[in-house]
Structure 1
Amino acid sequence: MEERDDQTFFNLYHHGFIRVAVCIPEVRVADTTFNTDSTVKLVKQASENNVVFAIFPELGISAYSNEDLFQQEALIKSVIQALSEILETTKDLNIISVIGAPLRVDFRLFNCGIVIYRGRILGIAVKSYLPNYREFYEKRQFSPAEDAQSKLIDICGQENIPFGSDILFEVKNIQNFKFFIEICEDVWVPIPPSSHAAMAGATVIGNLSASNITVGKSEYRHSLAASQSARCISAYLYAAAGPGESTTDLAWDGHAIIYENGNLLAESERFSQKSRIVYADVDLDRLAQDRMRMNSFGQNARAHKEQLQKFRKISFPVSFPAEQRILLEREYPRFPYIPSDPGKRDQRCYEAYNIQVQGLAQRLKSSGTQNVVIGVSGGLDSTQTLIVAARTMDLLNLPRSHVKAYTMPGFATTDKTYNNAMELMKAIGVEANEIDIKPSCMQMLKDIGHPFAAGEKLYDITFENIQAGERTSHLFRIANMRNALVVGTGDLSELALGWCTYGVGDHMSHYNVNASVPKTLIQHLIRWVAQSSQFSKEVCEILLDILETEI
């Protein structure tokens, strides 16, 4: 076996991730020299942090708020000079940069995103939709992408550079890394260009935006970026213009956000007076897997096949930092199903608990059964099942006595869990029962010749499974006798790991309300039920006591 190269293994680029950045430089209106310096500094800073892809705000080389200065020949020429300088000063950097600039093509002025890598312009994305309402009047200076006659242009000493709004960029040596650029208003329309680009294969969308700030607008930006990244099953990078733009008519907050499939990965401080960069590690493998599983994504792409075939694809390799140690900076929650934010956690608990209740209620209605049988141990899983069943009876306008609850102490049952079970059953108002399973377990141990029956202290798998099997066997026969359904208590974690007794054991039930609930969530559900007073004060106190019981 080959010896593993730890430097290579501990490198995010070898595990389906890429590091991306949204850069917000300080600018000065129509001062391309200052803006070029600000841009280059951030490109170098991002490169030093092992970023492979970085975007900048809309029209960042000239600034956005130039108004009719965009028509000045001096500004148009200085933009070309600035681009040449950026190409020269970044030619040794292994980073793809997307820079916003106005370009004159076919005697028209276009709002462009220029894709640069190692001193070469790979392609130029053009803004498709120009806002001309409220505070915007871009059509006064610019033309939309559809007005461009040229598909290839020459600029900065380079020839035949792809130009338009139909360009898809593919990084050949990083699997699943295809990106598309749209500009500001493009994402505010009903069907953004990035929707088609994602169906054509783009996994990363960059939006070069100016996006002046008004009260409440940042929340709407979040909604747009989150929704578009989720619909496109992609990463979505959004850069809004920051310090230095003119405040004669508008204000700016320099908002940078990065989303991945609806989840916020990074966000900048707003209203800063300094240049800013935000970073995120994007999981390309996850995006590819999600698209594969969501088969309707491919169906939608097939419906737009003719439109998708119009995209021009630019393929190129990059020299990413493959041989060095680059650890993920992205944080993954210790408990992935449980939000760390208390408000979100309570909302999830509310939903999960009521999903359980609704599911059981529908099963009882459809089966014509009004009774349930539950084994109650005094532990967390059976406690959650019991409070779900009790609330289900409330929902169906049935007395809680229709819940036939049985505690079945075995050889290792502690006084604490036994008392928890008895107190909880009585406090909730279900029918409380007790069956001592030790005699029937001992009979089986004798029948199969297990050493424990002869006095040997052997607590093996057979010993444990006999107790689980006896409990389940009792519950099913009681259900036969009492015209009831056995409601299971095992959680998702136990079922997924096989941490249960297969067959006649806790693996089996007529309906298991915990089957989709991970063990890490169970305690939060119980705590939410107690703290939100879903039951009486006495019940809630018992629930909190059960949560404190060490197992």
Structure 2
Amino acid sequence: MASLQILMAQINTLVGDFEGNTRRVLDAVNTAVESHPDCVVVFPELTLCGYPPEDLLLRPSVDLRVEESLNHLLAQLPGGAWVVIGYPRRSQGQLFNAAGVMHGGEIVAEYHKQALPNYQVFDEKRYFAAGDSPCVLSVQGISVGLSICEDIWESSPAQQAADAGAELLLNLNASPFHRGKSQDRQAAVIQRAKETGCAVVYVNQVGGQDELVFDGGSFAVTASGEVAATAPHFVESTQWLSVARNDSGLLLTGNGAMADPEDLAAVWQALVLGVRDYVNKNRFNGVVLGLSGGIDSALTLAVAVEALGPERVEAVMMPFRYTSQMSIDDAAEQSNTQGVTHKVIPIEPIYNAFMDSLADEFEGMGADTTEENLQARCRGVLLMSISNKKGSLVLTTGNKSEMAVGYSTLYGDMAGGFDVLKDVPKTLVTALCRYRNTLGPCIPERVIERPPSAELAPDQKDEDSLPPYDVLDRILEMYVEQDMSAEAIIAAGLQRDQVERVIRLVDLNEYKRRQAPIGVRITQRGFGRDRRYPITSGWRMGH
């Protein structure tokens, strides 16, 4: 009876690190063959270069680096193992997103990805030519077909492999996280399995890469669509799967179906992994952030501590005349609870020095938002100075709701290197704080309960100048994430004056968002790679 031992190697690669990624592959395979010398080890899409490599693929030296890595692997891999791995490969003058099968010191088969995604965060047609044929080979008596990521979301590539005799499909992936993505993946793979009569092994990348987080969650399904094996989400994992043929077809045996993380747990883990990998892969010593006593900075601090440990996190309270004692006390309480370094640096002297310097420029002009913005800019200067001196990354704390409508200050609270909550709406911030507190004491309850305020003016509240956040977030989801028009949103039951005002603010503040730090993407339409609007534009909301 033909059989295979398959290892789903869900690894965390570093884009551009050919040598390091090659070592990770060798380590995983060498460990695997200790248990099963003739096993099949399946790695994610573009493992050798990491995903997404973006314009590194346009560098003239990329072909040489790929060949050096492939040659090194062919010379070092144990001869009995079958290693299925992704890499960019040039053939007849065209660059392909390729998957190769290495065995016995040779590449015995190679497949070129056919379905090249060119939507949301993907722009593979910028770099790759599309393949046009299946790749099926016999591995220890079992007919195995190869496919790559987007191929499994379309019917044709899988059906081509089945028509060519495949009974098992190996699908290599670099599929980034967004809310609900795991369920969508399983549904698509199960549909392909049932359509083709092939079992499918789906191996996904894990780790943070700039704004993207890859959540792993690799799995295998039978030809009838039953989940036979699963790997955990948001962590590196090597998961074994047995495949054997009997009279009724292929029998897959693994650890069975594991439940996906609940929505809030998945978002929390995505934020933590995104911060951890951005800080560590860019070799920062740690992070520093302004802890205001408000809910956004409270959640940002909680994520940072979970990602890096309290010893690598510094929280700085920078009070001004409008800062309440409640805010000062709550910031100190959370810092103490989480065990982080906590500093208090009043900004009154800095603010006064700026105002003295600007006295002639401002003569005869009344106070307005300029003075409010100056407070934020004083804080930004302090945090960036600490960053420069200590080698720590400044985490900004603006949420998606604020970024959407421009409720932020350029070179002030937007000054920093990474915005943890950039794609997290305000209402979700509140829900995540409550979720975090279910894991243990962390965020003071009154930080969650009190009305949000920037505390830049006496008795200031966010809702003095914005709709209630539950209304604002509903409008933003429809306009930003669903591309609905103003009239369609109004028809859905929202007030015209609120809708028109919010949309106007979104359109006007593209220039701010273009200058904002990147942050973890958790929705299908974040303010980053997958939303590219012109700054200078005659577009109006009625269009």
TM-score normalised over the length of structure 2:
0.45
